[in-house]
Amino acid sequence: MSLEEAKQAVVDDFAMFDEWLDKYEYIIGLGKNLEPFPEDKKTEDRLINGCQSRVWLDCRARDGKLWFTADSDAIITKGIISLLIGVYSGRPAKEIAGDDFAFVNVIGLSENLSPTRANGLSSMIATIKKIAGDYAG
């Protein structure tokens, strides 16, 4: 699936639900299905700054592509980071660094989070972009 297709798939999934409560149920499901994150990787340097709940993000590079894993102590936050890495993981650093992440606005995610969580979402995006930018050089 191309990046554009992956983003469109999320937009389509979200469009299936009218109610935000149901969209949250979907996000929570993503959080619950995220692959386990090793406890010893929950270190300060993997914490994303600016989130109220704690979010850890780890990245490995292989063949110029980036693979993300993540965890959070809040399940909705975990679902949100899962949604992001589901779209971006396994893609070239350059492609991630150059993307506008605008699909999160299309699905209306930030407006439907609390202001603190919306800041957290911005921080997650900024962190993913920064990591990708550093790898892309």
Partner 1 sequence: MTAEELRKQFPILSREVYGKPLIYLDNAATTQRSESVIRALSDSALLHNGNTHRAVYALAGEATRAYECARVDVRDFIDAASVDEIVFTSGTTASINLVAYSFGDKFIGSGDEIIVAESEHHSDIIPWQLLAQRKGAKIVVMPVEESGALDLEKLESLFNRRTKLVCVAHVSNVLGLINPIKEIASMAHSHGVPVLVDGAQAVAHLKVSVRDLDCDFYAFSGHKMYAATGTGVLYAKKEWLEQMPPFIGGGEMIDTVSWEGTTYAPIPFKFEAGTPNINSVPTFVPAIGLIRSLDGSEAAFGLDKIKNFVYNALSSDERIVLRGTTQNLDEKVPLFSFSVKGVHHEDLALLLDKQGVAVRSGHMCAQPLMTRYGVSGMVRASFAPYNTQEEAQAFILALDKSINMLK
Query: Which chain residues interact with partner 1 by CB under 8 A?
Result: 19-21, 24-25, 28, 52-53, 73-77, 112-114, 116-117
Give strand pairing partners of 63: none
User: Which residue lies nearer to partner 1 by CB, 26 or 67?
Assistant: 26
Q: What minimum distance in Å lies between the beta carbon of 79 and partner 1? A: 9
Of the candidates 87, 80, 113, the one whose C-alpha atom is nearest the C-alpha of residue 101 is 87
User: Which residue lies nearer to partner 1 by CB, 20 or 60?
Assistant: 20
R_g of the chain computed on alpha carbons? 14
Residue 48, Cβ neighbours under 10 Å: how many?
Answer: 20
Q: What minimum distance in Å lies between the beta carbon of 20 and partner 1? A: 5
Q: What minimum distance in Å lies between the beta carbon of 112 and partner 1? A: 8
User: Which residue lies nearer to partner 1 by CB, 20 or 130?
Assistant: 20
- Catalytic positions are 51
